[in-house]
Structure 1
């Protein structure tokens, strides 16, 4: 346990910082304005090969109707960018569109995806349902958004902490001020203890009017805890660095009937917005592990409850806003 808590490394997720054990493997993605964004470490040659293979596959796909499958392909905005507009699958309606954007920057390939529609091609503007739409062709606006994101996105090593305003996600950084419609999800799995994982979610959208502790005490949650044979370890308010948070720690049955801990911390439950994004940090131990393609139930986790609490306290108490993030 001393090794896990003594060697913590700062990681940037969204506009926050969190310290994780040094051997933690990071993954995650962002959703900006409805566009899903993921980054993957890749050479420039591998990126070009991937794009070429994707273009060949899309061009080879034939629709089941009289309308095209691939509508557009080519360089987007900025260097090392490319995009496609297509139907998704041969089973999609002819008005459905999917936009994919690709970019290579600083050793990372970005893949952007968004689902949209065009009810002007083929023309369905006389359809009673379509008549109710203020915008009957979302493709131009969504394409412009994808191009804007491609132009701004920057590859980022996980240990690199930006100093400029913007939002981080695994492998990437999007510079700029906080706006509505920004969501980031990051995950960390411990190499030394593969049943131990952290998930951190950031969201500028409203989360409703219920706090974590209120949720922990409602009747449906209490019924679920009873079904899990759960035991509450600790819950209450927490003062972090400039942040007011709530936490809820319990132990119980997990999917697959193994046992383990579930620890949760939240910030800005009822005040989430661009300048104060909602944050949820969850730590899970035990449950089950996938070994050689099979799930194996763990009667207990690799950490004792005391060790899990010590790790949780070391990580959760270091959650803070990244200087200069806003």
Structure 2
């Protein structure tokens, strides 16, 4: 979905706000041109249960954790997927415990040949009650990997141990197996620009249908293809509730700024579409030792729940990310351009219709 007219309107509003004395940057003609190019072709992306408009050519990585199960996605050919599962199977089958009990407890399909799962001890030196779950699914050029840990103190029987006797459930393998299988079966491939119309969680390359839960975390990182040091990160997490808001952490943030030769560009409340948020825009030295920026927006900090999770959006320049690790001499965009880009992108964050 190309929303060039919306991007142009947002950029125009940005310039008007700067003219009215807001703390947005006053751009040079060259900077205006650069920002216009960065925002002229935006596409709506589904992230978690939310929508945000990003440059169409942005590179993306991401994952999720639902009810304790981590979900990783990676673009992968079918041949590479089969090879990965085969190699993992050979590795686990070839591992022997240092005690008389098995190392590998399950090795089978979940639901058809494009899914597989393992239950094993973890490391050869781990206790005989530990269980690690790994499940794999391939769909439309993506490999999805699921992981969670559990325990089984009945096989072998360790219930004579006073510590084990304190456990109400002595074996959570059946429960964890049902949980993992349920997620594997609910997860379906999703095209990058597909916006689902039903409740569920968007993760890179996939969609997990279902109503929100208290223990649900999704994240994504977008990196500008032509400016690899510029990244925009999104995270939603219903399991975290902060004791204060972003703006109430001023002592902590200001102390940190002194250590990295930093300064505040601006901070304040932000009214998004149906979301009350706060932002803090910083300039400082990055881990590369160059001048860069870190902008953060936060919502639902102290009220996080399944229906309104903690939201964090950030933009970084001059810093490493999932697609750029090489050292650089300086950021690829100016501070003024970074602020202008932020003001266009961040204001498009909104709840996906019927996402919850």
Q: TM-score, normalized by length of structure 2? A: 0.86
Q: Are 1:320 and 2:350 an aligned pair?
A: yes
Residue in structure 2 matched with residue 261 of structure 1 by the alignment: 293
- Counterpart selection for 2:204 from 159, 170, 179: 170
Structure 1 segment 45-194 matched on structure 2, within 5 A: 45-77=79-111, 80-194=114-228
Task: Compute the displacement of 1:189 (Å).
Answer: 1.1
Please name the residue that 1:221 is paired with. Answer: 253
Normalised by the length of structure 1, the TM-score is 0.93
Measured against aligned partners, the alpha-carbon deviations of 1:241-266 in whole angstroms (never above 9, x if no partner) come to: 11111100010112242220000001
**Larger strand proportion of the pair:** 1
CA distance in 2, matches of 1:303, 1:84: 46
- 8 Å CA contact retained: 2:69, 2:148: yes
Counterpart-to-counterpart distance in 2, 1:204 and 1:119: 31
Q: Deviation per CA, 1:197-251, whole angstroms, max 9, x where unpaired?
A: 1111111124223111112x13x33211111111100100011111111100010
| Bigger helix share | 2
What's the secondary structure of 2:264's corresponding residue? Answer: strand
Aligned residues: 322
Separation in 2 of the partners of 1:247 and 1:292? Answer: 25
Task: Give distance in 2, aligned partners of 1:289 and 1:270.
Answer: 28
User: 1:288 touches 1:297 (CA, 8 Å); kept in 2?
Assistant: no
Whether the 8 Å contact between 2:136 and 2:145 is mirrored in structure 1 is yes
Q: 1:86 to 1:290 in 2, by over 3 A?
A: closer
Moved more, 301-310 or 43-52: 43-52
Matched residue SS, 1:194: strand
How many angstroms apart in 2 are the aligned matches of 1:54 and 1:128? 36
Aligned with 1:136: secondary structure?
Answer: coil
Please list every run of 5 or more consecutive structure 1 residues that lacks an aligned counterpart in the other structure. none
Q: Tell me, which stretches of 5 or more residues in structure 2 are unaligned?
A: 1-34
Equivalent in the alignment of 1:236: 268
Are 1:106 and 1:154, in contact at CA under 8 Å, matched by a contact in 2? no
How many Å separate the matches in 2 of 1:270 and 1:78? Answer: 43
Mapped to 1, the partners of 2:147 and 2:66 lie a distance apart of: 10
